[in-house]
């Protein structure tokens, strides 16, 4: 099942696109008008989310691990990212 | 007083090259091979995406094609903007002479101070700023993006001076969530041209920025040109990244050094 979702953080739209099967995410793609430095850290976040269960604690753990690298996301908090990703639970679904 | 090289060289009909030059200067500054630089440039007709955006999510691509609007992605984050000859863009690319450290919020805050001061010098009315936007009389007239890495910081911005706002609002697809948040129905209600607000044209705003930034940061701008290494890197970036569909239309991150 493919899912798309969109979340408006105080400074930035975060869109998540992912495959969800057995409540686990794969092919996660994060796009939007936020800032993230270094920019290629986005690939690390997408990698950490690969296979992650769509449960608050699992997503939160992946996001916390991501921030350990020192990545900066001005005006977008950890909680914003977790909330954006958890939006997949109720996002727009498309059967493959 | 620090000398800052002033680059006015631009490629209005080739927005891909304009982006390639910005990144080439940033990379060369970070290697310690290029001077602090302030650069002004314009694009004749381009939709410029942030590096985390997807063209088909942010733009009306049919409209862009029908109206000969080129689509190019920046190497910095943030949102899509529309450039025509009525929009003036500038970049500040420098080693950290400003005590910013590895802190993007501080970078925005520091560089936005210079922008606000410059627009105030040009008598732009009722200026308010957020992290990377400036509004005048409640309408957005300025948007910026920034990044940094060891040895270099980069801040670039677009100002609406005499832009065709009908084209801007036709090509940019702003998500309903964002419009709702700002209490408006369309992007056209959100933006304005500086010329209409204070009568100043592109040249006057350009001059105000030079004065505003140089006095605020205590630097002196010295007209200069790109180095051979910058020209050569810009060409490689152009060929391998900024002229590529994979970069501009897709979500691939491309690194060329």
The token duo for B238 is 């152009």
Tens of pLDDT, residue by residue over B97-132, are 888 999 999 999 999 999 999 999 999 999 999 999
pLDDT above 60 for A96: no
Give the residue-averaged pLDDT of B208-230: 95
The token duo for A38 is 């270094």
Residues 218-247 of B with CB under 8 A from A: none
CA–CA separation, A30 and A14 (whole Å)? 7
Structural domain containing residue B73: 2-248
Among A25-39, A59-73, B101-115, B175-189, the range scoring the smallest mean pLDDT is: B175-189
Question: Best mutation site among B52, B143, B153 for testing chain A: the one with the most A CBs within 10 Å?
Answer: B52
- In sequence order, the β-bridge partners of residue B48 are B72, B81
Report the relative pairing of strands B70-73 and B45-49 from DSSP bridges.
parallel
CATH of domain A2-94: 3.30.390.50
Task: Specify the higher pLDDT residue, A41 or A88.
Answer: A41
The verdict on a CB contact (< 8 Å) between B103 and A43 is no
CA–CA separation, B130 and B116 (whole Å)? 11
- Assigned domain for B98 exists: yes
CA–CA separation, B27 and A93 (whole Å)? 41
- Assigned domain for B179 exists: yes
The verdict on a CB contact (< 8 Å) between B130 and A11 is yes
Give percent of chain B with pLDDT exceeding 70. 100
The token duo for B144 is 């910026």
Task: Specify the higher pLDDT residue, A78 or B178.
Answer: A78
Share the mean pLDDT of chain A: 93
Q: Give the CATH number for residue B73.
A: 3.30.930.10
Tens of pLDDT, residue by residue over B24-44, are 999 999 999 999 999 999 999
Look at residue B200 in the predicted model and tell me its pLDDT. Answer: 96
- Assigned domain for B77 exists: yes
Q: How many CA atoms lie within 13 A of A61 on its CB side?
A: 9
CA–CA separation, B225 and B238 (whole Å)? 18
CA distance B105 to chain A (A): 6
At residue B1 the predicted structure's pLDDT band, cuts being 50, 70 and 90, is confident
Taking the domains of chain A in order of start, what are their residue ranges?
2-94
The ipTM (two decimal places) reads 0.94
CA–CA separation, B89 and B222 (whole Å)? 18
- Assigned domain for B257 exists: no
At residue A19 the predicted structure's pLDDT band, cuts being 50, 70 and 90, is very high
In angstroms, what is the C-alpha Rg of chain A? Answer: 12
- Assigned domain for B75 exists: yes
CA–CA separation, B250 and B247 (whole Å)? 6
Among A4-8, A88-92, B186-190, top mean pLDDT goes to A4-8
- Assigned domain for B255 exists: no
Among B46-50, B150-154, B230-234, the range scoring the smallest mean pLDDT is: B150-154
Look at residue B117 in the predicted model and tell me its pLDDT. Answer: 96
Q: How many domains does chain B have?
A: 1
Torsion of CA B48, B54, B60, B64, to 10 degrees: 40
């Amino acid at each position: 099942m493919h899912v798309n979702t969109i979340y408006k953080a105080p400074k930035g739209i975060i869109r998540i696109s992912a495959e969800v099967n057995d409540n686990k995410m794969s092919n996660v793609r994060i796009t939007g008008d936020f800032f993230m430095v270094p920019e290629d850290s986005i690939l690390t976040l997408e990698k950490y989310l690969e296979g992650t269960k769509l449960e608050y604690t699992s997503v939160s753990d992946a996001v916390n691990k991501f921030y350990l690298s020192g990545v900066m996301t001005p005006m977008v908090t950890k909680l914003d990212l977790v909330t954006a990703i958890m939006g997949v639970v109720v996002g727009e679904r498309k059967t493959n | 007083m620090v000398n800052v090289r002033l680059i006015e060289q631009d490629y209005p009909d080739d927005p891909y090259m304009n982006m390639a030059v910005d990144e080439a200067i940033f990379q060369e500054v970070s290697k310690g091979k290029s001077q602090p630089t302030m650069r002004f440039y314009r694009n004749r007709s381009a939709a410029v995406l942030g590096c985390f955006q997807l063209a088909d999510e942010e733009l009306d691509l049919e409209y862009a094609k029908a109206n000969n609007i080129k689509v190019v992605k920046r190497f910095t984050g943030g949102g899509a903007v529309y450039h025509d000859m009525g929009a003036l863009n500038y970049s500040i690319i420098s080693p950290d002479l400003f005590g910013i450290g590895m802190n993007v919020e501080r970078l925005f805050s520091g560089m936005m101070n210079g922008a606000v001061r410059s627009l105030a010098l040009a008598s732009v009315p009722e200026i308010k700023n957020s992290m990377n936007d400036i509004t005048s009389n409640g309408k957005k007239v300025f948007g910026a993006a920034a990044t940094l890495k060891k040895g270099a910081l980069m801040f670039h911005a677009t100002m609406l001076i005499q832009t065709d706002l009908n084209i801007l609002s036709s090509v940019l697809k702003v998500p309903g969530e964002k419009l709702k948040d700002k209490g408006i129905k369309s992007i056209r209600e959100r933006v304005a041209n500086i010329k209409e607000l204070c009568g100043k044209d592109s040249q006057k705003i350009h001059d105000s920025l030079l004065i505003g930034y140089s006095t605020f940061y205590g630097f002196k701008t010295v007209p200069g040109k790109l180095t051979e290494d910058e020209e050569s890197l810009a060409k490689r970036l152009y060929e391998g990244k900024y002229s590529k569909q994979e970069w501009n239309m897709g979500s691939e991150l491309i690194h060329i050094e």
